[in-house]
């Protein structure tokens, strides 16, 4: 039988038609994590994606404290090969900012982006990459969607406009960057 495979948040989703419907399986780290059945390929893929998303939320909510530096080291090791130079530049710029607090405009400058909107988008994408390896609770934006930058940083002191928004690097992130030689 033909199978549909999809990589989703560092998991492999596999869906196949059976005689009575569709069967889906989530694989992670070479282990079967979850299995479900449904009436269509897309319905089963939606159920699998939802299961993965909800598992991240559960893991994040059950975390008793912010991740340790060693947990961040492990997480960054998992994604470091996938980081474009611009993401590395933002991390370095953030690390070397006074008190490791940086405006989104300065993040854009560090990465060579033309404006802070690009920095917001890409730093959020980097935060999402990290979140998918090391789920932690992140705040939601006004649209109700997670702001994944909170996986990397906390809100800084300045919040009077989006351009002047600042991010304070989490200590565990700074530790991981030092341990992995990503600060120079």
pLDDT at residue 23, as a whole number = 96
Let me know whether 32 and 105 are in one domain: no
Q: Evaluate whether residue 34 is within a structural domain.
A: yes
Per-residue model confidence as pLDDT tens digits over 123-167? 999 999 999 999 999 999 999 999 999 999 999 876 545 556 799
pLDDT at residue 80, as a whole number = 97
Last residue within a domain, chosen from 21, 36, 62: 62
pLDDT at residue 157, as a whole number = 76
What is this structure's pTM?
A: 0.84
The residue range of the domain holding 58 is 3-62
CA atoms within 13 A of residue 180's CA, in its CB half-sphere: 24
Q: Between 166 and 179, name the one with better pLDDT.
A: 179
Q: How many domains does the chain have?
A: 2
Q: Retrieve residue 32's tokens.
A: 């079967």
Let me know whether 78 and 168 are in one domain: yes
> What is the DSSP secondary-structure string of 63-95?
-SSSPPHHHHHHHHHHHGGG--HHHHHHHHHHH
Q: Evaluate whether residue 184 is within a structural domain.
A: no
Per-residue model confidence as pLDDT tens digits over 10-23? 899 999 999 889 99
Query: CA-to-CA distance for 110 and 173, rounded, in angstroms?
Result: 18
pLDDT at residue 93, as a whole number = 98
The answer to whether residues 175 and 91 touch, using CB atoms and an 8 Å cutoff, is no
Let me know whether 38 and 101 are in one domain: no
Let me know whether 47 and 82 are in one domain: no
């Amino acid at each position: 039988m033909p199978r549909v495979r999809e990589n989703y948040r560092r998991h492999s989703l596999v869906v196949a038609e059976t005689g009575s419907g569709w069967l889906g399986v989530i694989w992670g780290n070479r282990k079967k994590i979850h299995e479900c059945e449904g009436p269509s390929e897309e319905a089963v893929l939606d159920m699998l994606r939802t299961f993965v998303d909800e598992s991240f939320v559960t893991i994040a909510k059950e975390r008793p404290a912010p991740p340790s530096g060693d947990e961040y080291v492990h997480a960054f090791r998992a994604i470091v090969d996938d980081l474009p130079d611009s993401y590395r530049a933002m991390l370095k710029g953030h690390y070397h900012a006074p008190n490791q607090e940086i405006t989104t405009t300065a993040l854009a400058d560090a990465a060579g982006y033309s404006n802070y909107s690009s920095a917001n988008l890409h730093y959020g994408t980097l935060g999402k990459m990290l979140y998918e390896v090391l789920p932690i609770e992140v705040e939601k934006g006004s649209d109700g969607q997670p702001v994944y930058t909170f996986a990397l940083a906390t809100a800084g002191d300045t919040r009077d406009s989006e351009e002047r928004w600042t991010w304070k690097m989490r200590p565990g992130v700074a530790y991981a960057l030092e341990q992995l030689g990503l600060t120079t």
